[in-house]
Every structure is written in C-alpha cells, then in structure tokens.
Amino acid sequence: MKKYFVYLYILVLFINIICIIAIWTGNPQDVLRFTKEDGIIENLSVIFYFLGIICCVIAISRRKFVRFSFIWLFLCIMFLGEETSWFQRSLNYSVPQIESINTQTEFNIHNLNFLQGKHLLDEQGHFHFDFRQMLDPQTLFRIGIFVYFLILPLTFHIRKLKSLLIRIGYPNPSFLFVLSMWGSIILSFILALFSDSPTRSALAETREMFYALFIFLYIFSFALQKKNGVKFQE
C-alpha cells in the first residue's frame, strides 16, 4: 500500500472521530440541522456515491478489477438513486403508485411499507431483535457491508480461501483501511447506545455517510492500482 493511502486512512479516521464526538456532545437541535434530509451529511453521501461511480468507470476503462468494478458501478448507482429518491425532490416529479406504499411517500425501494422492519434500538435506546428485521433493505445493506469489508478481508488470511478470492479477482482492502472504516462505524454505534433519540438519529445518519465515504475510498484505491492481484492488499 502506497504511503499516501496510509496517511489518507489515518486522516479520515481522525476526522471521523472528531465528527462523531462533535455530534455526540453537541446541541441536538443544532446537530439535526446538519443531519436532516437534504442536509450537509446526506449531501456528502450523495457526493461520495457519485465519486464512486466515476472511479468505477475509470477502473473499467483501465481494465482493473473489471468484474468488481462493474458490480460496484451498479451498486453505487443504486445507492445514489435510493439516497436521493432518484432525484425526485430535485426534479420535482411524482410516482403516486410507489409513493402510496412508501413510509416517506417518496419514490424509492428501501422505504416501501412491506420491506420495513423495526430498528435495533427503540426510542428509549433499548436493543431488541426480530428476524423480520433481516428483510429490511437497510439491514441487508449493513450485512453486505459487514461481510464484504470485514469478513472477506479476514478470510483473506486463510490460505485456501485467499486463493479463491484472488481467483475471482476480489480487491482486498488493506488492514489500515479496515481499521479506519470499522473504527469510525463502531465508535458511532457505541455512542448511539448512550444518546437520546435526536442525537442517536444524527449519529445513524452520519454512519450512513461513513458507508458512502469508505465505499468511495475503496473503489478509488483499487482504481489507481497498476495491476490486479494481491498487491492491492499489501
């Protein structure tokens, strides 16, 4: 891994920690202004997914990790569309058939009534689990992130499985990337356990932005590699 990526991941972790603590200790009403719908935090998520799309196109044009570049191109387009309700508010259009069965009366998939599960943390901050939560699109998204960016990098240290991952062309992130990503996410989740509802909501929205940020950084990292293979991880 090149030195500038080392510095980049350390800097990102440092900034994220400051951001999380500022939200946790800040005035809830002031914090919610930054994390509200179409606020700064959500707009940053949109920007990161858009940058991820650009990096995927660059990687594909350079024939780098082509299979996974196409996969992430599709995912970033989907994430960008869902984050903005497919630019419904910007373009001011309506799809009544979808909005009538959407919890936020918007044009997107992840808020459809029949796909909604209960939150892991209720309004009082108590943890509860129901298997129906597994069908919630946001839960499936988090499971996918957990598997792809934590389980697979750990699996890369098992010789036989490492050979399989290399064979399918999996771009394995560096240890520092994984540490920066999960350090940010886990800290925000832990502090949410000790927060009231407005702050917990703000931390959750910030955590969604972290997902977008690290997806972009991941794609950006392998898009710049000179060739495919294990060197992305080293």
Structural domain harbouring 105: 3-24+44-232
For residue range 158-177, list pLDDT tens digits in order.
Answer: 988 999 999 998 999 999 99
Is pLDDT of 34 > 90?
A: no
Q: What is the 3-state composition of the chain as percent helix, strand, coil, each rounded to the nearest 5?
A: 70, 0, 30
* pLDDT (0 to 100) of residue 223: 85
Tell me if 169 is assigned to some domain. yes
Tell me if 38 is assigned to some domain. no
* pLDDT (0 to 100) of residue 231: 45
For residue range 10-24, list pLDDT tens digits in order.
Answer: 999 999 999 999 999
Taking the chain, what is the end-to-end CA distance rounded to the nearest angstrom? 5
Mean pLDDT over each residue of the chain, to the nearest integer: 86
* pLDDT (0 to 100) of residue 35: 84
Residues 6+ apart with CB under 8 A from 217: 8, 9, 12, 177
HSE of 223, CA atoms in CB hemisphere, 13 A: 21
Average pLDDT estimate for 205-218: 96
pTM, 2 dp: 0.88
* pLDDT (0 to 100) of residue 234: 37
**Strand, coil or helix: 121:** strand
For residue range 79-101, list pLDDT tens digits in order.
Answer: 999 999 888 888 888 888 888 88
- CB burial of 137-160 (b: ≥16 within 10 Å; e: otherwise) equals bbbebbeebeeebeeebebbeeee
**CA atoms of 173 and 156, how far apart (whole Å):** 10
Tell me if 36 is assigned to some domain. no
Residues 6+ apart with CB under 8 A from 71: none
Number of domains in the chain: 1
